[in-house]
Structure 1
């Protein structure tokens, strides 16, 4: 299918809110809506109503892309494909989001994690344009990572769960045990927005820029980024999400990452230009939404059922 003049749907399915859009790219977003993520029945009904109204007025969409909070099953060969699986979000475990959207709207549907969608959007239109290997990390209500390797989104056993990698924690410096219900002091348990709030007793956005929280946060973020650099060797790392709105974090992360690597990985991107290697999203807060559009374009081209 030619996607030159086609129109697509995008669903950024977050644990806090859903963002739905119709268009073909950053300069052609024809309609958007957003609403809180409540029960699956209510949330999916609002999603379907948004796209159904467009199709009734303007014609059939070419495809819909879904970038979802997880864990999910993204394997089309699996009997549970298209489902949000073991999520701790109440009521959402085993929700068949792809089945509901496809049955109601009758269009091809592409499905991936929200962070895989985001890295795809950044590769298509944002900070990873022209690169074949990149990583997108969101640091907010949780921590998640999406990876593009050799131009392809990474899947395997399931999909990357970078936010749950285990990090060294100095209990003398940081006695906080972490908030992850599965692992306690994994990366998400130590450095997500809820972890910051629980450790310091106030929301992260209310902490002043000189607060010691940010040096510790940068330390945990850099520890994980060093692991990602050593394992995946990305050409760029993009850091998004609500916590990364604290712009003072970037120079702290740059310094800490370089110090932790200690000159072992020899690349000008690290030694001379780390400010252009670890960067904010080129698409701002639209990485996930536009990435879902990019997923939809792939679905149309590949004729995903």
Structure 2
């Protein structure tokens, strides 16, 4: 039995074929361009196999409410060619199999909860900090969704007293994404984060904003563990700064595990999303 998986990111797509044990048999990746060009690559890959289900974790916002007439659509996105695109409709027109559909960060959360840094836990949160900020939660072993999916990156944060940056989010300015995602570093300093010294004060600002958000996620969802992924979190020393910020801002208000086991990097590294999409495919069966 074979299943298919898609991690549809804003920068690149990853497609994989896996088995019932969620092991990757073959995978490819290619840039995210227009829907027509990108799906041509998707179809060329999957057409070589007979899959019984497909799991898709997509950049968003997306429509996850099955009662909606736009279920399976990518909604309002800065990638204008994909705005209001019927992703599931295009896939089902080609492949007549069950399909799982969620956000890319929800898929990553699922992967980390089954095979990664939160393996064995039934309540966890995955936060990615990269070109954007997104979060997904697993509650009682299931992906958390309501009338839509969480948009954890758009939590409003209090500016650091020494940070005069207004934020790059066109909707909210100083939300977590606008203040802590990769483009905010270039916006402040004029250089990409990978070229900024780990001792630069900008990382203290980033840690402060992430600490605020993690306090909010903690008191609202009370997860057993929070996994912090994405390119920004690979900066040396940043995780420790985030832990200190979180501990200071929480102020021992509620009991949480020791920060070294509560705030961790991904166990699956960059494979959390595609692994979660495979799990989602197998769950359809």
Q: Does TM-score exceed 0.5, indicating one fold?
A: yes
Structure 1 residue ranges (4+ consecutive) displaced by more than 6 angstroms after TM superposition: none
In the alignment, is the contact (CA less than 8 A) between 1:48 and 1:105 conserved in 2?
Answer: no
- Which of 72, 96, 101 matches 2:91? 101
Match of 1:88 in 2: 78
Alignment of 1:35-114 (within 5 A): 35-53=30-48, 55=49, 60-114=50-104
Match of 1:7 in 2: 2
> Alignment RMSD, CA only?
1.3
- Distance in 2, matches of 1:291 and 1:240, equals 14
Q: CA deviation at 1:282?
A: 0.8
Match of 2:190 in 1: 201
Which structure 2 segments of 5+ residues have no match?
none
Deviations 1:128-152 (A, max 9, x none): 1111110000000100000111111
Alignment of 1:211-290 (within 5 A): 211-267=200-256, 269=257, 273-290=258-275
In the alignment, is the contact (CA less than 8 A) between 1:25 and 1:290 conserved in 2?
Answer: no
SS in 1 for 2:185: helix
Match of 2:131 in 1: 141
Aligned residues: 285
- Distance in 1, matches of 2:13 and 2:212, equals 31
Q: CA deviation at 1:28?
A: 2.8
In the alignment, is the contact (CA less than 8 A) between 2:2 and 2:20 conserved in 1?
Answer: no
- Distance in 1, matches of 2:199 and 2:159, equals 22
- Distance in 1, matches of 2:244 and 2:166, equals 26
SS in 2 for 1:32: strand
Q: CA deviation at 1:264?
A: 0.8
In the alignment, is the contact (CA less than 8 A) between 2:22 and 2:275 conserved in 1?
Answer: no
Q: CA deviation at 1:24?
A: 2.9
In the alignment, is the contact (CA less than 8 A) between 1:26 and 1:290 conserved in 2?
Answer: no
- Distance in 2, matches of 1:75 and 1:161, equals 15
- Distance in 1, matches of 2:255 and 2:167, equals 34
- Distance in 2, matches of 1:27 and 1:227, equals 33
SS in 1 for 2:128: strand
Q: CA deviation at 1:25?
A: 7.2
In the alignment, is the contact (CA less than 8 A) between 1:26 and 1:125 conserved in 2?
Answer: no
Length-normalised TM-score, structure 1: 0.91
Q: CA deviation at 1:106?
A: 1.9
Match of 2:179 in 1: 190
Deviations 1:212-264 (A, max 9, x none): 11111111111100100011000000000111111311111111111111111
SS in 1 for 2:279: helix
- Which of 163, 176, 186 matches 1:174? 163
In the alignment, is the contact (CA less than 8 A) between 2:20 and 2:282 conserved in 1?
Answer: no
- Which of 103, 107, 112 matches 1:122? 112
Length-normalised TM-score, structure 2: 0.97
